[in-house]
Structure 1
Amino acid sequence: MRPIVQVPDPVLRETCAPVEAFDAALRDLADDMLATMYDAPGRGLAAPQIGRPIRLFVMDVAWKEGEPRPQVFVNPEIVEASDERVTREEGCLSIPGRTSRVSRPADIALRWQDLDGAPQEGRFDGFAATCVQHELDHLDGVLCIDREEPPSEEPGA
């Protein structure tokens, strides 16, 4: 396991470099990231959150409700996003004790590489789409607090 970097560490604001070496060190890093994520306990963790500014994140959106289904995304990029948006409360392991209301596309298509460097594609919706976008933001130096929606004004308030 690795320590999780907290704001205001500058590594969280870096645009991460693409992964070029698909080797045992990358596999070990992904394994460490998954162990760190589960221990936190979180549902996603990006490499800059452990001080590594590379385009890699891990995710398991359902493990708290059932069996673990870890996923590893190397050099991910969104190739399509729906016009429909959904707003959710997002927490972040690098910003403990705080949540942010963030509006994001409800459905996305993603392209990435696996740990062997093989190209992958998939569609994500619901909470999984939110989680992918949150982790991908980390790879571009963007935090959920940067996308936070202003509080809505209640009529008559």
Structure 2
Amino acid sequence: MKTLADLLLLGDPRLYETCAPVTEADLPLVAGWVADLDNVMREVRARYGFGRGIAAPQLGIMKRLVYLNIDRPMVLLNPELTEPSDEQFELWDDCMSFPNLLVRVRRHTALTVRYRDEHWQPQTWPVQDGLSELLQHECDHLDGVLCTMRALDAQSFKWKP
């Protein structure tokens, strides 16, 4: 079982890699990956007081998998963001891979995510506001993009005690 000690931190070169798609042949591995993601998210919540989602590459699992647990657990395999709104908003973003740093970014207010669930069934989910921002953040991880790379400017960083 992976723990907080396995979480990749800012500067780890794997965080900047593009992940491979999850294949149907990978399905027997998904439950184990999700258990690891869930465990680390719980540890981050206990230690730092935040965490709604985590992307597989944050644990060195270089697959296109996002795990969310807000009101219930959700597994998104090979998520694709489509139909981004023209309207955007700014926020201070946080990340488990650098838990004491906030980064000011701009995100789309709404979009649609298309993905496969853990049973390999195709799903479509329109999201807005906080969920839209969260999915943009997590899907960026799958492409090796961190919110530090989306900072509005050089002053868009803030330390969080």
* Aligned partner of 1:140 among 116, 138, 143: 143
Residue of structure 2 equivalent to 1:98: 101
Q: What TM-score do you get using the length of structure 2 for normalisation?
A: 0.86
Worse overlay, 128-137 or 52-61:
52-61
CA distance in 2, matches of 1:147, 1:74: 24
Structure 1 runs (4+) greater than 4 angstroms displaced: none
More helix by share: 2
In the alignment, which residue of structure 2 is the partner of 1:85? 88
Out of 101, 107, 112, the position equivalent to 1:109 is 112
Aligned to 1:57: 66
Please tell me the residue identity of whatever aligns with 2:130: F
Query: Does the residue aligned with 1:27 lie in a helix, a strand or coil?
Result: helix
Say whether 1:16 aligns with 2:6.
no
Could you list the runs of 5+ residues in structure 2 that have no partner in the other structure? 46-50, 157-161
2:44 aligns with 40
- 8 Å Cα contact 1:15-1:139 kept in structure 2: yes
Report the identity percentage. 38
- Offset, 1:22: 4.4
| TM-score w.r.t. length of structure 1 | 0.88
Give RMSD over aligned pairs.
1.4
Give the paired residue count.
146
